[in-house]
Amino acid sequence: MNKLMSDKKTIFLLVAPGFLILVSMIIFPIGMSIYYGFTDWGGIGDYNFIGFENFKNILFSDEIFRTSLINALLLTVATILIQHPIAIFLSILITHCGRWEKVLRTILFIPAIISVVVTAKLWASIYNPQYGLLNNILDSIGLSSLKQDWLGNPDLAIWSVIIVTIWQGFGYAFLLYYAGLKGVPDELYEAAKIDGANPFQLYTKVVIPLLAPMMRVAIIIAVISCLKQMEVVYLMTNGGPGNSTQFLGNYLYQTAFSYAKYGYGNAISVLFVIVVLIITVVLNKVLKRDVGEY
């Protein structure tokens, strides 16, 4: 058996099917996508090879690409600055809830298991200026002057969408931090208490620094999912009004399939991948900090 497994032929034969699938389903399409990025293909018929023309246009004269990139970055920053502190705070709070702990953590995870379509339509109804919950609540507490067309006003729409994606991704962020907290050994709490740390010091000086590895994972996951954001926008506003809530994923879908500029869409996707790679590498470098063993 050992001899069989160390035989190169066997290894090759066993790896081949998986490798073939990987090549034909992932590597080959990515290669095709890069190739089409250099053409002016419209999705039907012939195309010409136009070199870096698409990339030049996207980088230097495509306002919508810029808006989508800025929106994606805005969403990422907002997620990290708003969602994660709340997630950490709530996960700390919940560990002190005694017998309610299990129930509460289940409830907090619910947004994550609801289908995206449902979430998007649910929030679209909440935001609806006609019969929406949000405006009705404002009405009933006497704040009618604050009533808004939440998704129709280009200045507010992007924030309305950001809140939904934060809400939707909250469950996973929470779960990661909660698991991280559970992983901090009891001795450390005890040691800190014996040393005279008050609860505030306990968390800011001991526990949260120990959460750093978890934070790193959570932040990278959040960044990737924010940059990839497409479904919620597609379902709630489809990038509108007037491209004010456009995101890269949605924009490249629109260019390829609605604008019938397949080559251009592929070029966007290539740039998109590059942007995500750069951000991930930078994040990895920045967040690489050893907290020591525990």
Partner 1 sequence: MKKWILLLLTAILSIGLVACSDNTGSKEGSSKDGKKDGEKVTLKFFTALPDRETGLGGVEQKIIDSYMEKNPNVKIEVEALQDEPFKDKIKIYSSTKQLPDIIQAWGQSSFIAPLINNGLLYELNPADFEDKDFIEGSFDGFSKDGKLYGVPRNTDFLPLFYNKRLFEENGIEPPKTQEDLIAVSKKFRALGINPVATNGMDGWIFPMWFDYALQRETGSFDLMDDALHGDKSYTDPAVITAAKKMKEIVDAGVFADGYLTADYGTARNLFGQEKAAMYLMGAWEMGLATDENFPESFRNNVGVIPYPVSDKSKAGDLVIYQGGGYSISNNSEHKEEAVKFLKYFFESENWPKLTWQSGAGMPAQSFDKYLTGKESTLQKEMIDIFNSVTSASGTPILDDSTPEFKETIMSLHQELFTGKVTPNQFGEKLDAAAKKARDASK
Please report, as ranges, the residues that interact with partner 1 according to CB under 8 A.
8-9, 12-13, 16, 20, 42-46, 124, 127-130, 149, 151-154, 236-244, 254, 257-261
Q: Which is nearer to partner 1, 7 or 190 (CB)?
A: 7
Spatial neighbors of 213 by CB under 8 A, at least 6 apart, are 180, 291
Half-sphere exposure of residue 231: CA atoms within 13 angstroms, side-chain side: 12
- Closest approach, Cβ 3 to partner 1, in A, equals 16
**Rounded least distance, CB 49 to partner 1, Å:** 17
Using alpha carbons, select from 95, 122, 125, 103 the residue that is nearest to residue 111: 122
Q: Which is nearer to partner 1, 105 or 261 (CB)?
A: 261
Return the number of the residue (174 or 262) whose C-beta is nearest partner 1.
Answer: 262
Residue type, 146: L
65 Cβ neighbours under 8 A, 6+ residues apart: 58, 59, 248, 251, 268, 271
Which is nearer to partner 1, 123 or 170 (by Cβ)?
123
Compute the least distance from the CB of residue 16 to partner 1, in Å: 5
Q: What's the closest the beta carbon of residue 38 comes to partner 1, in angstroms?
A: 17
DSSP type of residue 94 = H
Q: Cis check for the bond before 111: say yes or no (omega within 30 of 0).
A: no
Least distance between partner 1 and beta carbon 154 (Å): 5
CB of 44 to partner 1, least distance (A): 5
Partners of residue 49 on adjacent β-strands: 39
Distance of CA 282 to the CA centre of its chain: 17
Q: Which is nearer to partner 1, 134 or 176 (CB)?
A: 134
CB of 144 to partner 1, least distance (A): 13
Q: Which is nearer to partner 1, 36 or 203 (CB)?
A: 36
Beta-bridge partner residues of 39? 49
Angle at 119 between CA 123 and CA 148, to 5 degrees: 10
Please list the residues that pair with 161 across neighbouring strands. Answer: none
The pair of three-digit structure tokens given for residue 96, joined into one six-digit string: 């002190």
Give dist(CA 48, CA 207) in Å, integer.
Answer: 59
CA distances from 277 to 223, 227, 261 (A): 11, 11, 24
Taking the least distance from each CB to partner 1, the nearer of 76 and 245 is 245
